Amino acid sequence: MTALYVRGGQRLEGRIEPSANKNAVLPILCATLLSDAPIMLRNVPEITDVTRIHAFFSDLGSTVEWDKDAHTLRIDHSTISSSAKAKLPQAMRASIMMIPGLLARLGEARLEHEVKGCTLGAREIDPHVAVFKAFGATVDYERKDIVFRKARRGDGTRMWLEYASVTTTENFIISALTANGTSQIVNAACEPHVQEMCTFLEAMGAKIRGKGTSMVSVDGCKTFRPVDYTFVEDFHEIATFLALAAVTGGDISVRNTRPEDFMLIDRTFEKFGAHVEHKDGWSRLNAPAELVVQQNFTSHITTKVEAAPWPYIPADLLPIFIALGVKARGQVMFWNKVYEGGLTWHTELSLFGAHTLLCDPHRLITFGGDRLVPATVTSPYIIRVAIAMLMVASSIEGESTILDADPIRRAHPNFVDNIDSLGVDVRWDD
């Protein structure tokens, strides 16, 4: 059990260079399997899943050079033997996005039946299976494995998703590059990390139309160019540091080269009386003396923060705003329209003295402004829930303990060092 000890109550101040977005890094690493050309990736975060993919590529026969100090990763898949066998890492959900590249390269991939991930409720693979079948693959059970096979290059197809799934959209786009002709996906996810994967693929030579919209067309591609690509900053991490400023009454600036992605995020901060300023590649939140929930013009309607697929507020950011909700004076309803298991952790907040009410699996009301006290809490295996607990602990005088806090390392390699530099007294106990 990994514990995080936090002595809070300090006003956080400083500047932060955020890491790259895990949700962009992992699909891009998976997509590199399409190419035999040399690939250089920069600003690569040293996180658990990157370590797993690095080990998998090496075992597969790829030439991989990871300079962790320089944050660079050189990849050359041309050294993979056509007789190589691929059983995907079971401990990360991103494994499923390596299937298109492996099918194109080896004709077969194996995945353990139960794929792990954050404990956010049911996360089915059926939409992915439908994508692979649409491009000509067969899918069968063999003992505890799901086996994907594809004998030849399939033809382009058109698919309309039941919901705008990020990983299903990414798998469709990667699969479409291995097909003949043009493919189209309707109700595509359009999150910034999906757009970033498309930008990377375009640098490799892909032709993709509709990036950032709900309808994306992709032409098949038989050869790929060498590419030298630098990952952009993680908008989740940027928003999280801004929220840390708000919750501690601090003043934090974060490097942000894509402020155009923050219009709705900025408006959500405004609901708590906090203002974000974007200037010269930096985003800054100088917190007010007190967070106060702003009342709606329609006074009988409770202030809401609704999380759903982009361009809504991302469900991954909902926990950090819940942390603001337990601090801010007033009531807020949080609505997670994506995961049925995304709010059950609210009971841990009561250990801090927070007042919350779970209306149903998808809706939570916070009654903020109460005096909070240090506590020992346990994080579920959800990255930003652990961070939300750390945020609350950072705002309270005295020492709190967050048990099972290790998920933070899955997405944010320097997170604890960064918040320590801002003034939080924090340490790991492994």
Domain map of the chain by residue range?
3-19+233-429, 22-230
Regarding the domain with residue range 22-230, which homologous superfamily does it belong to in the CATH classification? Enolpyruvate transferase domain (3.65.10.10)
In one-letter notation, the amino acid at residue 360 is D
Confidence tier at 91 by pLDDT (50, 70, 90): low
Burial 91-103, CB ≥16 within 10 A → b, else e: ebbbbbbbbbbbb
Residues 168-191 have a mean pLDDT of: 97
User: Among 139-153, 316-330, 372-386, which stretch is predicted with the lowest mean pLDDT?
Assistant: 139-153
| pLDDT of 8 strictly over 80 | yes
Determine what percent of the chain falls in helix, strand and coil, rounding each to the nearest 5.
Answer: 35, 25, 40
* Dihedral angle of Cα 161, 164, 165, 171, to the nearest 10 degrees: 60
Residue 3: Cβ within 10 Å count: 17
Domain 3-19+233-429 matching CATH 3.65.10.10: the answer reads yes
Indicate if the pLDDT at residue 261 is higher than 80: yes
Cα–Cα distance measured from residue 369 to residue 45, given in angstroms and rounded to the nearest whole number: 37
Alpha carbons 318 and 332: distance in angstroms, whole number = 12
pLDDT, mean of residues 41-61: 94
SS3 34: helix
Quick: pLDDT tens for 201-238: 999 999 999 999 999 999 999 999 999 999 999 999 99
pLDDT confidence bin for 187, thresholds 50/70/90: very high
Query: Can 3-19+233-429 and 22-230 be said to share one CATH topology?
Result: yes
Cα 216 from chain centroid (whole Å): 21
pLDDT at 113 > cutoff 80: no
pLDDT tens figures, 197-208: 999 999 999 999
